[in-house]
Structure formats: C-alpha cells, structure tokens
Structure 1
Amino acid sequence: MNSTVLEIKNVKKNFKGNEVLKDVNITLKQGFIYALLGANGAGKSTLLKIVTGLLNSDGGKVTIQDINIADNPVAAQKLFSFSSQNSTVDGVLTGYENLHLIAKLRHERNPRKVAESLLEKFDLTEAKDKAVSNYSGGMRRRLDLAMSLVGNPEIIFLDEPTTGLDPKSRQDLWDTIKEMKLQGKTIFLTTQYLEEADYLADQIGFLREGKIVASGTPDEMKRIAGADKLLLVFNRNEDTDIALKLLESYSPEKKDNCEISIDLTEDITTTLNVLNALTTENIELKTFKMITPTLDDVFMTLTRGRK
C-alpha cells in the first residue's frame, strides 16, 4: 500500500484582502503523479510556494513525510526538489558544470559521477561541454529536471514544466517525467495544459478561484462532463426523423440536420442495439462514432460552474 508523501490540509492565503487560496486539501501518495490544473490566476503557483516553504500560508497545514513544513522547513526541504517555471540553470556554465555544482552543494560523495550519470539519463551527454546559453528550450528543461534529481529527493515539484516548449520538446519532457515515475519518484506538477494532465497524472485537481472544485483520476474527471456518446450521421433528413422516433427509448438528441447523439450508459450493448434497430428498419447510416468526453469538456463544465 502506497504511503502518503504530501498532505495539504485547509490551506488559506490572502493578499491585501483578496482570498487567493480557500481551504485547499490535497493528499499525494508515494509513486504517484498529481497534476494541479487551473487557469492563470487560479492560485497554482501560490500554493506551490506555500507547499515548498517559500511562502507562509494564512491558515492550514502542509506536511511532507509527516514533517510540518512551517515548523521545520529545513528538514522538509531535504526531502524534495522544486523546479520553477523559470529555469534555474546557469547559462554561462556548461551542462556538466551546472550538475557538478549542484551535486557539490548537495554534498554528494562523488559529484563527477552524479553529473555524468544524469547527463546520460537525460540524453545530454553530447552537449555536456556546451554553455547552457546555447541549449534549446527543451534541453534547458531536461537539464533543470536532471538537477532536480540530485540528492535523490522523495518528491519532485514542477511548476508548469513545459510552458513555452514546442510540441516535440513537450512530448520528450512528458516521457522523461513518466520515466521518473517508473523509477519510483513522486511528482506534483502544476499545468494549464489539459492534455498534459491527462497524459501524465494519476490524480488531477481542478483549482478555480482558489478552491479545488473537482478531483480524481483522469477518467473520473471526464465523467463530470457526462457519459460517452454515440453520434449517428445520416444521409437524409427524412432518415434522421425516422431514427429519432425509432430510438425514442434511448433519449436521442438531434445535434444537426442529419446527426443524432445518444448517451451510452452501456457502451457496447447500447451501440449494438441501436445499430441493429436501424438495420432492421433499413435506415442507412452515413457514419457513426463513439465520442468520449475530454478534460477540455470537463474544464468547460467546471468553469461554467456546473456540478
């Protein structure tokens, strides 16, 4: 059974009378990836600063491996690493020098070996002697992640790790983060990208106006937007009207002149029954497809305030 690594309980934060965080509660288990989703200004970065001890809260408690970060920040900070939105690498130094320096600062026994091992792990060996100022955005973020692994932290905090990256660099970084999880790391990340949360996370929290308005697995989140749907497309309006009457027991919804949507409570059974009914009545379909809600649909549902 996975133990709890991070617990955020009833965390609050006010700035000049503006309540930025309102009783935020999150629990993260060992070896899991948690994605905190929210638009700009939702409070994601503020929460991450409180969780990592860079900012005091106005209420609530944060514990990492049962250590209260407000009471003992030094002990807690030894258990994690934090990669902010802005890369912390030194552009003047080479990739190797950046890692070697961090390894020495973290009192690693063999900083040279640590640096070389991480350069290889993050596919940076060929560029190890280049100044980081000459690295691409994706290479910089990989180096930043490599630096976050120095000292073998229990948990890794990533604040919008792929912001500003091109699609290929973003996918490469996602694969790197997944690989870190496979190696047993616990990861807490913030993101604006719904696709990123869906691809990476075991658990997702939606932060809106300082509150967690929904949380769960990606599949659980998608159910907020409704059931899977069967979309039927006909060649003629007449066929569409006949099908609406024939399939009345399935509560069909007319989407367009020649389109009908049906909620799938039992995906396979409902689909087969609908198609059999249409075939029996010789109603010709142009095409059909199953549509599964996405996190984009969930985001739209939540931002409209619907439950």
Structure 2
Amino acid sequence: MTSSAIAVSGLRKAYGDKVVLDGIDFEVAAGSIFSMLGPNGAGKTTTVNILTTLLTADAGTVRVAGHDVAKATKQVRASIGVTGQFAAVDDLLSGRENLQLMADLKRVGSGDQVVKSLLERFDLEESADKMAVTYSGGMRRKLDLAMTLVGAPKIIFLDEPTTGLDPRSRRTMWGIVRDLVAEGTTIFLTTQYLEEADQLADRIVVLNQGRLVAQGTADELKRQIPGTHVRLRFADPQELGAAARILPAGTPDEEELVLRVPSDGQSRSLRALLDRLDEHALNAQEFSVHSPDLDDVFLALTGDTADVVAQRTDKEAIAR
C-alpha cells in the first residue's frame, strides 16, 4: 500500500441531466482521518458508493488501497470496511452471533478468537449474548463498527457514524476511531456534525453541488474565513454605549450588553484595545476572543444554512 490510501482524479457522475459529481480530485493519506463535508445532495454518498465499488463512475480514476475500483473490485472490497449511517445489525441475533456471522461470511480464520477480541475491545462482553434489539443506540453503533472490523480492513468508510447518539456515546466513538488510526487504519469520514470533523479529521474537503470548493486542515479552512473578533460584555447599557462610542468599529448588542470588535486576535492588538478602555475608565465584565469555526466555514462555502442551524439547535438542546 502506497502513502495514498485513496487517490481520486477527475471523478464524474451524472444521472441524465443532473450532474452529481463534476470532476473532483483528492487524495487520502494512509493512516489518517479524512473527512468529507457538504450539504445534503452535495454528492457525498455518491462519492462513497463509487469508492466502495457500489456505483460505477462515468469518468475519472479511483484507486483504493492501491487498486483501481473499476478493474480490481474484489481486491478493493477485501481491503475496506463500510459502516453506514444506520447500524446494519440483525436485531434477532445476539451481539456475539452478529460478529460470528461476519466472521463466517468473510471466512476469517480463528473466528471465535476474533469475535471474543472485538467484544472485549468494544466493551460488549456483558451484553454479548443478548439480542441486538435490546441494545441502546450507542451499543448498536459500537457493534456495527465491530462487525466492520472483522477481517481487519485497511480502510474504513464511516458514513455519519454518530448520528442520533448522545454526547457521551459520540465521544466514545471518537475514541475508538482515534485508536484505529493509531494502529494504522485509514478512516474516510462523512458527517453532518462539523465539531466531529474538527475534532477528528487530519484533512477535510468541502463538497458543494458536485464540486470540491475547499480542502485543507480544519485550521487552514478556518483561516480562509474573516470574522475574528473580541467579545466584550459590560455591566449596564451606559458602559456599553460609552465603549461603542470609543470603539466605533464594534457592533453592540444591547440585549446581551455585548460589544463585538473586529480584531486579528494578536496580543498587541488586544493590549491596545484594553488600554483604550482603561483610558476611559471602562471595565468589561467578560472578555474573550472568537475565531471562525467550521460552522462559519460551511456557511461561507456552501451558502446552506439548514445543516448548521440544525446542529446549533441540537447543541443548545443538549446544553439545556
């Protein structure tokens, strides 16, 4: 296997007049976490389906684990594992039986030992002989990923692996993903949770209307978006008004008693701002620097607010 676990060049796919993928190019480094972001309908699922041999591309070349997906389908399938958005477990089988079934289908030697090892790794020993229908959402996702690991695939495709999970279960899954990468596995991640990509991904691409509109690390993408500012909260409207007058570039929020002042976030600029407040005997009760996050990047690059608004609503609900 080369340093590139996945190499995609000029990938195109259309259904009639509808162009789904319009000549995209990217590479995924071996032993890394690569995340593809984009609004619904951007072409993420189509890309994954082509990379996992479930769809045929109209044009372009795709190599996965060193194999051409169009010419070496069997070799590609032997090298990958796929965990879909919805857990593909058999509810009428126990956790152990689900894993054993996968071991039998993949003709894994020492299947019993592999099953035992995966049950231990995913902390499923106590529930191993219970029917999967009794499992919680987090347990089902862990079992689903454990089933994907039967056969030790080099590359794993995770399609929105934490959808519907509570914050604790989500972080458990993040830990498992990091452990897999530490062992040399390559992860291709699609997710609607931008925080997830921010936390996990070594490299991110943003897909919009079938085209890659940006790629880089999370920090590189954030730096493309202006909007770093200092947030100052004051005790009363009078102090807020006075601060707004001496810092005219700021945007006041009278309801929250907050003034947002554009800044590059560097220490010299921050010191000058605070000195200006001191000169007028003004004191901010709270002071913080805010930089654009992946939500801002997503909005700026795709113009699609639905997914980000839904995430923010979800975060607020969890906080409450």
Give the TM-score taking structure 2 as reference length: 0.87
In the alignment, which residue of structure 1 is the partner of 2:16? 16
Match runs of 1:218-257 below 5 Å: 218-235=218-235, 243=243, 246-247=246-247, 252-257=249-254
Equivalent-residue separation in structure 1 for 2:28 and 2:262 (angstroms) = 34
Secondary structure of 1:87's aligned partner: coil
Match runs of 1:134-145 below 5 Å: 134-145=134-145
Instruction: Give, in angstroms, the shift of residue 269 of structure 1.
Output: 2.0
* C-alpha contact 2:39 2:302 (8 A) present in aligned 1: no
1:287/1:167 CA distance change after superposition, 3 Å: closer
* C-alpha contact 1:228 1:267 (8 A) present in aligned 2: no
Equivalent-residue separation in structure 2 for 1:130 and 1:234 (angstroms) = 57
In the alignment, which residue of structure 2 is the partner of 1:110? 110
In the alignment, which residue of structure 2 is the partner of 1:179? 179
In the alignment, which residue of structure 1 is the partner of 2:151? 151
Could you list the per-position Cα deviations for residues 166-211 of structure 1 after superposition, in whole angstroms to 9, with x for gaps in the alignment?
3332222222222222222110011111122112211111111111
Matched, 1:203 2:182: no
* C-alpha contact 1:20 1:209 (8 A) present in aligned 2: yes
The aligned amino acid for 2:297 is V
In the alignment, which residue of structure 1 is the partner of 2:309? none
In the alignment, which residue of structure 2 is the partner of 1:284? 283
Equivalent-residue separation in structure 2 for 1:245 and 1:86 (angstroms) = 54
* C-alpha contact 2:225 2:296 (8 A) present in aligned 1: yes
Equivalent-residue separation in structure 2 for 1:21 and 1:66 (angstroms) = 22
* C-alpha contact 2:234 2:258 (8 A) present in aligned 1: yes
> In angstroms, what is the RMSD of aligned CA positions?
2.1
| Runs of 5+ consecutive residues of structure 1 not aligned to the other structure | none
Equivalent-residue separation in structure 1 for 2:241 and 2:119 (angstroms) = 63
Give the TM-score taking structure 1 as reference length: 0.90
The aligned amino acid for 1:127 is S
Equivalent-residue separation in structure 1 for 2:154 and 2:278 (angstroms) = 58
Secondary structure of 1:284's aligned partner: coil
Instruction: Give, in angstroms, the shift of residue 245 of structure 1.
Output: 6.2
| Runs of 5+ consecutive residues of structure 2 not aligned to the other structure | 305-320
Match runs of 1:1-307 below 5 Å: 3-235=3-235, 243=243, 246-247=246-247, 252-257=249-254, 259-304=258-303
Question: How many residues are matched?
Answer: 301
* C-alpha contact 1:50 1:56 (8 A) present in aligned 2: yes
The aligned amino acid for 1:93 is L
